[in-house]
Amino acid sequence: MKRLFLSAALLAGAAGFCSVSAQQADSAKVDHLTEVTVKALRATKKTPIAYTNLTKEQLRGLNYGMDVPYLLSLTPSITTTSDAGNGIGYTSLRVRGTDPSRINITANGIPLNDAESASVFWVNMGDFASSVQSMQIQRGVGTSTNGAGAFGATLNMLTESIGAKPYLGIDVSGGSYASHKETLRFSSGMLSGHWGIQGRLSNIGSQGYLDRASTKLNSYFLQAGWFGNNTVVKFLTWNGIEETYHAWNYTSKYEQSLYGRTYNSCGVMGYDANGNPNSYYEDQTDNYHQQNYQLIWNQQITRNLSSNVGLHYTKGNGYYQQYQSADTQMWYGKSWASFGLSTDDSVVEDLADQQKMDNDFYGFVASLNYNNKRNLDVIVGGGWNQYLGDQFGRIVWTKPGVVTTVAEPAALLPDFEYYRNHSRKTDFNFYGKATYEFVSGLNAFVDLQYRHVGYKLQDPTVMYGVNRDKSYVIDNQYNFFNPKFGINYDINSQHRVYASYGIGHKEPVRNNFMQQIANPDREDTKARPERLNDLEVGYKFQSKHFTAGANIYWMDYKDQLVLTGELNAIGEALTKNLENSYRLGLELEAAWMPVDWFRWDANATFSRNRVKDMVVTLTDGTNVNLGDQPLAFSPNFILNNILTFSYKGMKASVQSQYISDQYLTNTGFKDMECKDENGNTTYETLQLKNHFCTNVDLSYSFSLKKFGIKDITAGVTLYNIFSAKFDNNGWAAPQLINDNGTIKAVNEWGVRDSGAAGFAPSAPFNVMAHLSINF
């Protein structure tokens, strides 16, 4: 690592002696050609949808170690989660209540979503925000994009430009819970007027707010480019290496009352005489290495015509290792025979296993952009991507002296592989978009996309003896047509109105098929593709000192795959199809800057999120229709407020967020009936309670040019200054009973809410100091 940092520093320093022709390069033209990369996917002021742009400067003012979801948390309609409780490690993003697997994410127009889970695991992309030039998040169906279908939102990112001048930058952060971030940034600038190299080295770590919820993230980003008068060719590569201790079980309120708010049940091996946990499995970790490659060619063919072609390859390899007690195995109906360690189904003892992944994802994207510079802008494009994945499990430790018989002799050897399955997924799409100005200020927008998905999956059951014949139990083909239409009218230079209607489709993910295979006789677990009809109507006002906007959305779903509130054995949130549901909301935004040194930004979302005719199964096996009920993890109200003060080099920002109650299930029950330690009736929550959280960021910037330092920024960020106690995520699986004609949610598994609900607490007041130096 030291050699890498030294090499980067020498490279950037040597670049300072290059010819002055680099500084005379037409950087504006280079930037224009670079932006062709994402032009096909991005919305503009003429696009009739709701979106938010974030610049490199805005991201840098937030990027002190937390993952990308937390850098976006103050934009409209967003909620975030953090397993460790402090925004570092396993985090996720929800938009308008839709879960992460419904958010399409690209970098330079190339898809990043995992092909099988449809999510992006930001823990595998440590400090990626330090290499981003800009981001755009589109809410709703959005414009056509590559990769996983956008079903709730789209996030497209443009990586950092190489720049015309050389530089060297160092960013350092450190604070509560042993959290730290070190980043070295460098660029050669333009070499001989045509070449350039730019990159980053990063290290992020934290002990986490929760017990043992540690995170170690190492990453790099490197790009090299050739820049001609009308051509940009870039090769980019970046990686992420992570080691994260599990914190995905969450804990019940009852467990927290016994062991404290930071209690983490993952890896607990033993208890003392008083029932307190006293031994832990040290290797209860998630380990993954993700390596990305991109080759991008942007061409200005004529004054009106430009093109973009991108090739990509991602290699992923890793595993999570976990201790499984006998109690845990029995909870999930397993015995040692399930692991190939015994022929006797009654043998159930402690063990540790690794569940591993080895996958390849590759393909290409392309677009052709025509703009007549008057009233017509046309884009045609598409992409082809293929995913090949192996998932397999190995036994790494067993309780000594237990095994008397084994399913096969190899089980006596270390690292015995007890299951393996393979999957193949192909995603192909092409689209055409056009914006046409009929009369001055009035634009029509049309966007038509065809998407084909082929998914072949061997039996994904994580159990010995399954999938012996290697046949594909899932071999599905999906064909989706996703049209979008809209109009935008610039009434004058200050007022704009727009309206759009779009249709989106999305295929089920791996976990949906796992549930279907595990419950072949249940109709409600059959995995079906989903359809979204999205209507957006908005208004924007802009003046010198004040801007404001309002957007109304109506998202009507057929077979929406909705979070149920339950988790599987490795902490993944489960979803299932609900036949009819909708999300109706109003998004408001405003910014006021009466003087140069003060700015006030605010946004709010009011929404109603409902499933129609929610049918549930009671413990006696009967089905009951509960009628219309709130959708899980979908708050009715979100408010963000940002006050920014700046004077010369000093800057202060006060950032506040309020999020209303969120249901943990789709049943509408706010609590469940339980029994305490003494058998008395008690009631425990089935909600993430509303919370109000405030952060304060203070910084001072200055320069020391006589020492060769362009600028220095030093500061401190105070998170959750009022120490609000709230949960950012949770799960719930209560039993439902008919009590003399009244349907109730109850917990019959354990004391109070143990075994039926879990919560992920957020950290109270904590601090992060930060320093950035640019040479």
Residue 27: the pLDDT is: 58
Does an H or E element contain 33, and which? helix 27-39
**Is 39 strand, coil or helix?**
helix
- Write the pLDDT tens digit of every residue in 470-498: 899 999 999 999 999 999 999 999 999 99
Confidence grade of residue 208 (pLDDT, cut at 50, 70, 90):
very high
Checking if the pLDDT of 509 tops 90, the result is yes
Task: Give the model confidence (pLDDT) of 694-742 as tens digits.
Answer: 999 999 999 998 888 999 999 999 999 999 999 999 999 999 999 988 9
pLDDT of residue 148 exceeding 90 = no
pLDDT band at 558 (very low <50, low <70, confident <90, very high): very high
* Mean pLDDT within 543-559: 97
Q: Is the pLDDT at 79 greater than 70, yes or no?
A: yes
Distant-in-sequence, close-in-space partners of 651: CB < 8 Å, separation ≥ 6: 644, 645, 697, 698, 699, 700, 701, 715
Contact 562, 581 (CB under 8 A): yes
What pLDDT shows up at residue 359?
Answer: 97
**Strands of 88-194, DSSP E:** 91-95, 103-107, 110-111, 132-139, 153-159, 167-175, 179-187
pLDDT score for 767: 98
Which of 144-148, 191-195, 216-220 reaches the highest mean pLDDT?
Answer: 216-220
Task: Provide CB contacts within 8 A for 159, sequence distance 6+.
Answer: 107, 108, 131, 132, 133, 221, 223, 236
Residue 404 is predicted with a pLDDT of 65
Which residue, 652, 673, 657, is CA-closest to 715?
652
pLDDT band at 31 (very low <50, low <70, confident <90, very high): low
Return the pLDDT at 145.
84
Give the type of residue at 439.
V
Distance CA 114, CA 527 (A): 18
Q: Return the higher-pLDDT residue of 1 and 698.
A: 698
Whether 305 has a pLDDT exceeding 60, the answer reads: yes
Tokens of 178: 């042993």
Looking at per-residue confidence, does 524 or 53 come out higher?
A: 53
Read off the pLDDT of each residue in 392-407 and give the average, rounded to a whole number: 83
427-454 residue pLDDT tens: 999 999 999 999 999 999 999 999 999 9
Q: Looking at the predicted structure, is the pLDDT value of residue 14 above 50? A: no
Calculate mean pLDDT across residues 55-77.
93
Asked if residue 414 has pLDDT above 60, the reply is yes
Task: For residues 111-134, give the mean pLDDT.
Answer: 94
pTM of the model: 0.93
| The pLDDT of residue 307 | 95
Structure confidence at residue 19 (pLDDT): 36
Pairing outcome for strands 687-688 and 167-175: unpaired
Residue 134: CB atoms within 10 A of its CB come to 20
- The better pLDDT of the pair 203, 149 is held by 203
Question: How confident is the model over 662-684, as a mean pLDDT?
Answer: 96
pLDDT of 75 above 70 = yes
Q: What is the pLDDT of residue 11?
A: 35
15 vs 99, higher pLDDT: 99
Average per-residue pLDDT for the chain = 91
Whether 381 shows a pLDDT value over 50: the answer reads: yes
Residue 2 has pLDDT above 50, yes or no: no
pLDDT band at 293 (very low <50, low <70, confident <90, very high): very high
